[in-house]
Amino acid sequence: MNKIYALVVLYMRRLSVEREKMRKLLSIFIIFAMFLISGLQAFADDSQEALKFFNSYVSAANSYNPVITTMYSPSAKIIRQVVKPNGELVDVNTNTATYIKQMKIGQAGAKMRGYKNTYTNVSVTSLGNGSYKISSLRQPSGETYKLKTYMIVKKINGKWQITEELMQTKEQIFLKYATKK
């Protein structure tokens, strides 16, 4: 009987030790899960902020608000990708200062015509390092076609800014600015 009692006591101790190990393991798992969830929440918050910034960009662009010029990083990479009638794509690169100057000139005529862009299929992708790529399809007013576009945005000194932008266009006039090969 003493042997049975000793075995039961030994089994109970072992069970208690195993229970304690499981409790520690569960605690570690819960802490890890909390860190993971908070990290995902931070990504989701920044992703939503980037999307909110994009929506404010669309609103500013469609209302010809001068604030749009402050939404670009001074060193942003601006690409207009011209879609030729045969489908060939030609990239036309410019700097931020030149682009903003051209934008201001073009806004006057566009505002008189009531020109606006509609964006669909908007998606936000983290590129790491606090940068987000916002891709979409842009439909110019009065047109039935949609063109690819993306912008890369990043919070710089606490303010979201466009650091790179690519917009496709069918406007062939941009080709005169293309780099000759």
CATH of the domain at 89: 3.10.450.50
Q: How far apart are CA 60 and CA 70, in angstroms?
A: 11
In the predicted model, is pLDDT for residue 10 greater than 80? no
- Residue 49, domain member (yes or no): yes
Digit-coded pLDDT (tens) for 33-88: 565 555 545 445 789 999 999 999 999 999 999 999 999 999 999 999 999 999 99
| Whether pLDDT at 5 is above 80 | no
Residue 66 located in a structural domain: yes
pLDDT at residue 110, rounded to an integer: 81
Task: Say if residues 125 and 141 touch (Cβ distance below 8 Å).
Answer: no
Is residue 24 in a domain? no
How far apart (Å, rounded) are the C-alpha atoms in residues 87 and 157?
A: 40
Six-digit token pair at 49? 């902020």
> Is 4 inside any structural domain?
no
AA letter at 60? A
At 108, the pLDDT band (50, 70, 90 cuts) reads: confident
Burial label, 62 (beta-carbon count in 10 A; 0-12, 13-18, 19+): middle
Q: Residue 146 corresponds to which amino acid?
A: K
| Any domain includes 141 | yes
pLDDT at 26 over 60: no
Count how many domains the chain has. 1
Q: Strand pairing of 117-128 and 89-94?
A: unpaired
Based on its alpha-carbon atoms, the radius of gyration of the chain, rounded to whole angstroms, reads: 28
Model pTM?
0.73
Residue 23 lies in a domain: no
Q: Does residue 140 fall inside a structural domain?
A: yes
**pLDDT tops 70 at residue 17:** no
Name the token pair of 163.
């650091």
Work out the pLDDT band at 103, boundaries 50, 70, 90.
confident
> pLDDT tens, 116-172?
999 999 999 999 999 999 999 999 999 999 999 999 999 999 999 999 999 999 987
Q: Which domain holds residue 60?
A: 36-177
Residue 16 lies in a domain: no
**Is beta strand 131-140 parallel, antiparallel or unpaired with respect to 147-156?**
antiparallel
Cα angle vertex 32, ends 27, 36, to 5°? 150
Place of tokens 């890890």: 32
